[in-house]
Structure 1
Amino acid sequence: MSTNNFAIATGHPIATEAAETMLRASGNAIDAGVAAGLALGVVHPELVSVAGVAPIILRDGKTGRITSYDGVGVWPKAANVEWFHKNFGDSVPEGILRTVVPAAPAAWIRALSEFGTMRFGDVAAPAIKAARDGFPVFELLSEFVKSRHREYQRFESTAEIFLPNGKPPVVGETFVQTDLANSLQIMVDAERNAKGDRKAGLAAARAAFYEGEIAQRITAFHAENGGLLTMEDMASYEVREETTFPVKFRDSEIYCCGAWCQGISMAETLTMLEKAGKERILTPDGDIDRHFLLEVLKRVFADREAFVTDPDYMKVDPASLLDASFVAQRLATISETRSDPMPAPGDMEHINAPYRNNAGETPEYARGSADTSHVSVIDGDGNMFSATPSDPSSDTQVIPGTGLSVSSRGSQSRAIPGHLNALAPGKRPRLTPNPILGLKDGKPWLAMGTPGGDIQIQAMAQVLIHMMDRGKGLKEAILEPRVSSYAYPGSFAPHIAYPNKVLYEQDLPDAAIAELQARGHDMEAWPQQTWKAGGICVAMSDENGNLNAFADPRRAGTATVNA
Structure 2
Amino acid sequence: MKKGSFSLVFILMGIITMAQTFNARPEGTQKPPLHGNHWMAITGKPLAATAGSIIFNNGGNAVDAACAMLAATCTMWDVLSWGGETQALIYNPKTGKVIAINALGVAPTGATPAFYAAKGMAYPPEYGPLAAVTPGTPGGLCTMLAEYGTMSLQQVLAPAMQMAAGYAIEAQTANSIERNKALIKQWPYSKEVFLPHLGKEREAPEAGEIFKQLNLLATLTKMVEAEQNALKKGKTRKEAIYAAYDRFYKGDIAKEFVRGSQEQGGLITEQDLANWQVKIEEPMSVNYKGIDVYKMQQWTQGPALLQSLNILENIDLKSMGYNSAKYIHTLYQTINLAFADRDFYYGDPAFAPQEPMKGLLSKEYARQRAATIDNTKNNIHIGPGDPYPFQGETNPYLAQINNWATASADINTPVDASFLESFHAGTTSVEAADKEGWVVSITPSGGWVPACIAGNTGVGMSQRMQSFVLDAAQNPFNVLEPGKRPRVTLTPTLALKNGKPFLSFAVQGGDSQDQNLLQFFLNIVEFGMTVQEATEAANIENFQIKSSFGAHDNRPGAVMLQSKTPDWIIKELKQMGYSIGLDERSSGPINAIYFDWEHGSFWGGSSNHGEDYGIAW
Residue of 239, 242, 252 corresponding to 1:200:
239
> Which range moved further: 167-176 or 113-122?
167-176
- Counterpart of 1:297, as a letter, is I
RMSD: 2.3
Distance 1:291 1:146 in 2: 40
Does structure 2 retain, via aligned residues, the 8 Å contact 1:4–1:24?
Answer: no
CA 1:511–1:153 in 2, change beyond 3 Å: closer, same or farther? farther
For residue 286 of structure 1, report the CA deviation from its aligned partner: 7.5
> Which range moved further: 478-487 or 283-292?
283-292
Aligned to 2:460: 405
For residue 188 of structure 1, report the CA deviation from its aligned partner: 0.7
Residue of 311, 320, 333 corresponding to 2:372:
333
For residue 4 of structure 1, report the CA deviation from its aligned partner: 7.8
For residue 284 of structure 1, report the CA deviation from its aligned partner: 8.8
Aligned to 1:177: 213
Does structure 2 retain, via aligned residues, the 8 Å contact 1:302–1:488?
Answer: yes
CA 1:187–1:286 in 2, change beyond 3 Å: closer, same or farther? same
Residue of 416, 422, 432 corresponding to 1:377:
432
Aligned to 1:445: 502
CA 1:522–1:210 in 2, change beyond 3 Å: closer, same or farther? same
- Counterpart of 1:105, as a letter, is P
- Counterpart of 2:310, as a letter, is T
- Counterpart of 1:332, as a letter, is A
- CA displacement, residues 186-214 of structure 1 (integer Å, 9 cap, x when unaligned): 10111111121101210111011001121
1:210 matched to 2:249? The reply is yes
Aligned to 1:142: 174
TM normalised by structure 1 equals 0.93
Aligned to 1:494: 551
The alignment partner of 1:70 has SS state of strand
Does structure 2 retain, via aligned residues, the 8 Å contact 1:215–1:231?
Answer: yes
Count residues in correspondence: 554
Does structure 2 retain, via aligned residues, the 8 Å contact 1:70–1:260?
Answer: no
Where does the alignment leave 5 or more consecutive residues of structure 1 unmatched?
none
1:424 matched to 2:460? The reply is no
Aligned to 1:39: 72
Does structure 1 retain, via aligned residues, the 8 Å contact 2:447–2:461?
Answer: no
Distance 1:225 1:147 in 2: 22
Does structure 2 retain, via aligned residues, the 8 Å contact 1:256–1:264?
Answer: yes
CA 1:284–1:482 in 2, change beyond 3 Å: closer, same or farther? closer
Distance 1:225 1:156 in 2: 9
Quote the sequence identity (%): 28
Does structure 2 retain, via aligned residues, the 8 Å contact 1:388–1:450?
Answer: yes
Does structure 2 retain, via aligned residues, the 8 Å contact 1:458–1:484?
Answer: yes
For residue 499 of structure 1, report the CA deviation from its aligned partner: 1.0
Distance 1:371 1:169 in 2: 21
Aligned to 1:357: 409
The alignment partner of 1:165 has SS state of coil
Does structure 1 retain, via aligned residues, the 8 Å contact 2:345–2:356?
Answer: no
For residue 508 of structure 1, report the CA deviation from its aligned partner: 2.9
For residue 402 of structure 1, report the CA deviation from its aligned partner: 1.4
Distance 2:322 2:296 in 1: 34
Residue of 218, 223, 232 corresponding to 1:187:
223
- CA displacement, residues 472-531 of structure 1 (integer Å, 9 cap, x when unaligned): 1111111112210111221112211211111223233333322222211111123x126x
Residue of 24, 42, 45 corresponding to 1:9:
42
Equivalent residue runs for 1:521-536 within 5 Å: 521-526=578-583, 528-529=584-585, 533-536=587-590
> Which range moved further: 485-494 or 270-279?
270-279
The alignment partner of 1:275 has SS state of coil
CA 1:342–1:171 in 2, change beyond 3 Å: closer, same or farther? farther
The alignment partner of 1:549 has SS state of strand
Distance 2:289 2:602 in 1: 21
Query: Structure 1 segments of 4 or more deviating over 6 A?
Result: 284-288, 358-361
Where does the alignment leave 5 or more consecutive residues of structure 2 unmatched?
1-35, 388-394
Distance 2:572 2:192 in 1: 50
CA 1:284–1:379 in 2, change beyond 3 Å: closer, same or farther? closer
Aligned to 1:296: 334
Does structure 1 retain, via aligned residues, the 8 Å contact 2:177–2:450?
Answer: no
The alignment partner of 2:197 has SS state of helix
Does structure 2 retain, via aligned residues, the 8 Å contact 1:446–1:540?
Answer: yes
- Counterpart of 1:403, as a letter, is G
1:163 matched to 2:217? The reply is no
- Counterpart of 1:338, as a letter, is K
Distance 1:207 1:433 in 2: 25
1:283 matched to 2:316? The reply is no
- Counterpart of 1:14, as a letter, is L
CA 1:342–1:17 in 2, change beyond 3 Å: closer, same or farther? farther
Does structure 2 retain, via aligned residues, the 8 Å contact 1:137–1:174?
Answer: no
Does structure 2 retain, via aligned residues, the 8 Å contact 1:535–1:553?
Answer: yes
